[in-house]
Structure 1
Amino acid sequence: MIKTIIFDFGDIFINLDKAATPRALQQFGIENLPESIIALNKEYEKGLISSEEFFNSYKTEFSKVEKEAFLQSWNAILVDFPEYRLEFIKKLASEKDYQLILLSNTNEIHIDWVKENVSFFNEFQQCFDAFYLSYEINFRKPDANIYEYVLKQHQLKPNECLFIDDTKENTDAAAALGIHVWNLDPVNEDVVDLFTEKKALFS
């Protein structure tokens, strides 16, 4: 029986255009990211470096980078948050049938954009019993330690949890720990259809 539902954020609640940031970065002559910058991105997502250090590293690597344009490019991935998904999670929270946890790989620049541009972000956040952002807890998916951290924090049994994420390597990592998963396809599926799509888990 499912007692806890763990949700990703991007392409589950907020719509993303994952190709938009690489496309926008081309204005600075950035076509392919070196391994050092890919590693830096992961460090930033874990909150191991500050936003200023993050930008300065890009500036050092790519001299054409200008701060405001870089921030716009970095945030280009973020599209919109349909309000009907807020209504879905509000209803689920009000029913109190499940413990609700958000577990997202995100960074400070992105979440600052969300707070500024999604008027109901605070209301959304309050729907959850716990709200974990990778840069605040220094772990990121698909590393096993992020799932183990959540399980330990809430004394959860993996087989009583459902984890919903649009990235297969993330759901595969959770499934390896015995957690039920839904690898949601954002093109053809929507989180609001949870109890239709995953009916067998809740019956």
Structure 2
Amino acid sequence: MIKNLLFDFGDVFIDLDKGATLRILSEKGLTGIRPELYSVIYDYEKGKVSTEEFLRKGMEYLPEIRRDDLITAWNAIILDFPEHRLDFITDLAINGSYRLFLFSNTNGLHIEKVIERMGSDRYSKFMSCFEGFYLSHEVGMRKPDPEVFEMFFDKNRLSPGETLFVDDTLEHIQSADRLGLYTWHLQVGKEEVTELFKHLGG
């Protein structure tokens, strides 16, 4: 029986344009991203580097990009948080039938943009729906690393066989599958998190 629900954030609750950053940078003349920049991004998502250090390193790898343009391009991924999804998770929390948790791979700049787009009151309302609200840059780890899920279970004394994990990224789903969680690989644009009850037969 599923007792616990672990949600991703981006493209599950808040809409993303995952191609926006590269698209905008290419409009600024960028022809490609050097592979080593991805390790900087992952370190930023794990909170190993500050926002200022991330921007400084980004500008070293992308010398043709100004600081403000880099911030704009980086944050262009963040779109809207539809009200019906906020209503859904709020109702689910009020119902109290499941323990609710969230884990998001994110970073300081993106969360600032999320709060700007949602408004601080709506963001606080969203956070309050969850017993545990984990952001990768705050806890020092990111999906799909197994320690994310191990931390989640140890900290909250939960069982994988009683937990449904909802995420739009296949790599994250596969990691959770190997650890024995029930999973829903949400197909963005074809499915909505509000269809959750179709996936709660575990």
TM-score by length of 1: 0.96
- For 2:104 and 2:191, locate their aligned partners in 1 and report how far apart those are by CA, in whole Å: 19
Give yes or no for the alignment of 1:124 onto 2:129. no
Q: In the TM superposition, what whole-angstrom CA distance separates every residue of 1:53-76 from its partner, at most 9, and x where no partner exists?
A: 000001112222212211110011
- For 1:199 and 1:74, locate their aligned partners in 2 and report how far apart those are by CA, in whole Å: 35
8 Å contact from structure 1 (residues 16, 79) kept in 2: yes
8 Å contact from structure 1 (residues 44, 51) kept in 2: yes
- Sequence identity of aligned pairs in percent? 41
Structure 1 unpaired stretches of 5+: none
Alignment-derived partner of residue 5 in structure 2: 5
- For 1:19 and 1:58, locate their aligned partners in 2 and report how far apart those are by CA, in whole Å: 17
8 Å contact from structure 1 (residues 3, 161) kept in 2: yes
- For 1:149 and 1:200, locate their aligned partners in 2 and report how far apart those are by CA, in whole Å: 25
Q: Which moved more, 1:21-30 or 1:170-179?
A: 21-30
- For 1:98 and 1:199, locate their aligned partners in 2 and report how far apart those are by CA, in whole Å: 11
One-letter amino acid of the structure 2 residue matched with residue 91 of structure 1:
D
8 Å contact from structure 2 (residues 30, 64) kept in 1: no
Q: In the TM superposition, what whole-angstrom CA distance separates every residue of 1:156-181 from its partner, at most 9, and x where no partner exists?
A: 11000000000000010011000000
Q: In the TM superposition, what whole-angstrom CA distance separates every residue of 1:43-93 from its partner, at most 9, and x where no partner exists?
A: 101110000000000111222221221111001111110010000000000
- For 1:81 and 1:163, locate their aligned partners in 2 and report how far apart those are by CA, in whole Å: 20
| Correspondence list, 1:35-184, <5 A | 35-119=35-119, 120-184=122-186
TM-score by length of 2: 0.96
Structure 2 unpaired stretches of 5+: none
Across the aligned residues of Structure 1 and Structure 2, the Cα RMSD in angstroms comes to: 1.0
One-letter amino acid of the structure 1 residue matched with residue 24 of structure 2:
A
Give the drift of 1:187.
1.4
- For 2:140 and 2:30, locate their aligned partners in 1 and report how far apart those are by CA, in whole Å: 27
8 Å contact from structure 1 (residues 103, 134) kept in 2: yes
One-letter amino acid of the structure 2 residue matched with residue 136 of structure 1:
E
- For 1:116 and 1:16, locate their aligned partners in 2 and report how far apart those are by CA, in whole Å: 15
Give the drift of 1:199.
4.3
8 Å contact from structure 1 (residues 22, 31) kept in 2: no
Aligned residues: 200
